[in-house]
């Protein structure tokens, strides 16, 4: 009997020790977060901006809203670790937002270590000293030129603007025309964006209010971008009924055509087509949320001798399985079917295709649909095929066989 009592006491002691250890670990983690982020409600928005790094930052357009507490972080977002540097918040009107630093902390560290050397300043210079430099326009152009050339020493980063770097000023014109700040400071912001992540530039050139399927751009403050929250990634919506996936597919194909043809001056070839980078809301409207890796092609240049095939269309070559493409070849032709093939690849390709497995009712009633998807992936004329696909999907979305039976 005494042995059993002793055994119970020993078990209680072990249990109490474990509880005490867990409470200690939790307390340390909690207070470490408070010390790091300065409050019990999680990280304060202004502490995410790195304003002290300006003008080597994205700009200050949305800083007043952050200072005046018009934008607040979700209280569930407090954490001492956020590998993606993506946060969520709300406006005073309860509009949900995404706050993106647009790079990892290690990438910022590498970038900051290069700034002083890049501008021939003393080691450990302060960012404000960049305002005394005189060659910022050359630095901006060289950043773009580097991404066009064959890259030997370091990989391309972000925006590829081709075939000639001088088109950058045409791309930036609507942005620079809308600003009234210090020109040199603005160009330093642009240089920083081009070296870290070009998304803030792209979102101001192709705007949601003009019908592009991209997030609404809220602005930037320091090294923080604010955009609207547009829904969940399609990779998390594989469980939805198949006819809803067909709605997504229709809009994905429409977007592929828009990115290729809609802008008066430029084509926008997305290099990172993925179901993770396309989101959908409760209305089944989709949005492309990651515009970091993109080729912007000026379709109205006068080709020089280095572009003998400029006026020919470039069709994607067979480059092996998976998502692959040639930046060099896309930049040497006035038109490429890259976006069209990429759209069809995420719908029907090798890696987790959105529309497969296809319901047997669809295969039985619309056998040509599968053939068209295959032709888009492997055929010779994707421009003609995608037009047929758009027509067939439009018909399918009013077909009771597809809608009325709750096909999954």
For residue 131, give every residue at least 6 positions away whose Cβ sits within 8 Å of its Cβ, in sequence order, or none. 55, 182, 184, 185, 188
Report d(CA 18, CA 26) in Å as an integer.
12
pLDDT at 383 over 90: yes
Which residue bears the tokens 């070009």?
198
Question: What pLDDT is recorded for position 150?
Answer: 62
pLDDT at 308 over 60: yes
The share of the chain scoring above pLDDT 70, in percent, equals: 81
pLDDT at 38 over 70: no
The alpha helices in 197-337, defined as continuous H runs, are: 199-205, 242-261, 327-331
Residues linked to residue 73 through DSSP beta bridges, in sequence order: 89
Contacts of 137-144 with C-beta under 8 Å, sequence gap 24+, read: 137/187, 139/191, 140/168, 140/187, 140/190, 140/191, 140/194, 141/165, 141/166, 141/168, 143/191, 143/194, 143/195, 144/168, 144/194
Length of the chain: 408
The share of the chain scoring above pLDDT 90, in percent, equals: 67
pLDDT at 5 over 70: no
- Six-digit token pair at 241? 């009924």
Question: What pLDDT is recorded for position 154?
Answer: 60
pLDDT digit string (tens) for 9-36? 444 555 444 434 443 333 333 333 333 3
Between the alpha carbon of residue 146 and those of residues 57, 234, 237, 303, 380, the distances in Å are 21, 34, 39, 19, 32
Residues linked to residue 91 through DSSP beta bridges, in sequence order: 71
Residues linked to residue 314 through DSSP beta bridges, in sequence order: 336
The model's pTM is: 0.85
- Six-digit token pair at 375? 């032709």
Residue range 190-198: average pLDDT?
Answer: 95
Between the alpha carbon of residue 294 and those of residues 53, 157, 160, 309, the distances in Å are 26, 10, 6, 22
Q: Residue 337: name the closest of 308, 388, 379 by CA.
A: 379
- Report the chain's mean pLDDT, rounded to a whole number: 85
pLDDT at 43 over 90: no
Question: What pLDDT is recorded for position 151?
Answer: 57
pLDDT at 50 over 60: yes
Report d(CA 39, CA 69) in Å as an integer.
15
């Amino acid at each position: 009997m005494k042995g059993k009592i002793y055994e119970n006491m020993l078990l209680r002691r072990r249990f109490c020790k474990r509880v005490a250890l867990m409470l200690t670990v939790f307390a340390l983690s909690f207070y470490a977060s408070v010390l790091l982020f300065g409050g019990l409600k999680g990280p304060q928005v202004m502490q995410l901006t790195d304003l002290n790094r300006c003008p080597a930052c994205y700009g200050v357009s949305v800083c007043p809203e952050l200072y005046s507490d018009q934008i607040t972080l979700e209280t569930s977002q407090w954490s001492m670790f956020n590998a993606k540097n993506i946060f969520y918040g709300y406006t005073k009107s309860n509009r949900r937002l995404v706050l993106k630093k647009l790079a990892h902390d290690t990438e910022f560290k590498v970038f900051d270590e290069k700034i002083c050397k890049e501008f021939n300043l003393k080691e450990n210079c302060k960012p404000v000293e960049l305002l005394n430099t005189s060659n910022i326009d050359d630095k901006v152009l060289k950043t773009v030129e580097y991404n066009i050339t064959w890259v030997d020493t370091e990989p391309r980063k972000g925006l590829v603007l081709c075939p000639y770097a001088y088109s950058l000023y045409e791309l930036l014109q609507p942005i620079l025309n809308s600003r009234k700040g210090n020109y040199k400071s603005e160009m330093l912001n642009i240089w920083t964006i081009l070296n870290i992540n070009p998304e803030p530039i792209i979102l101001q050139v192709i705007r949601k209010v003009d019908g592009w399927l991209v997030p609404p751009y809220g602005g930037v403050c320091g090294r923080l971008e604010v955009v609207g929250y547009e829904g969940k990634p399609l990779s998390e919506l594989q469980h939805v009924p198949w006819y809803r996936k067909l709605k997504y597919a229709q809009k994905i194909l429409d977007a592929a055509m828009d990115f290729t043809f809609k802008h008066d001056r430029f084509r926008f070839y997305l290099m990172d087509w993925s179901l993770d980078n396309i989101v959908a809301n409760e209305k089944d409207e989709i949005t492309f949320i990651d515009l970091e890796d993109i080729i912007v092609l000026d379709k109205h240049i006068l080709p020089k001798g280095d572009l003998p095939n400029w006026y020919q269309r470039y069709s994607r070559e067979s480059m092996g399985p998976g998502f692959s493409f040639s930046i060099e070849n896309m930049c040497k032709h006035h038109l490429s079917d890259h976006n069209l093939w990429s759209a069809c690849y995420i719908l029907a390709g090798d890696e987790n295709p959105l529309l497969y497995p296809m319901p047997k009712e669809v295969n039985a009633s619309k056998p040509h649909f599968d053939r068209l998807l295959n032709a888009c992936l492997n055929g010779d004329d994707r421009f003609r095929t995608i037009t047929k696909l758009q027509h067939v999907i439009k018909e399918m979305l009013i077909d009771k066989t597809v809608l009325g039976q709750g096909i999954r």
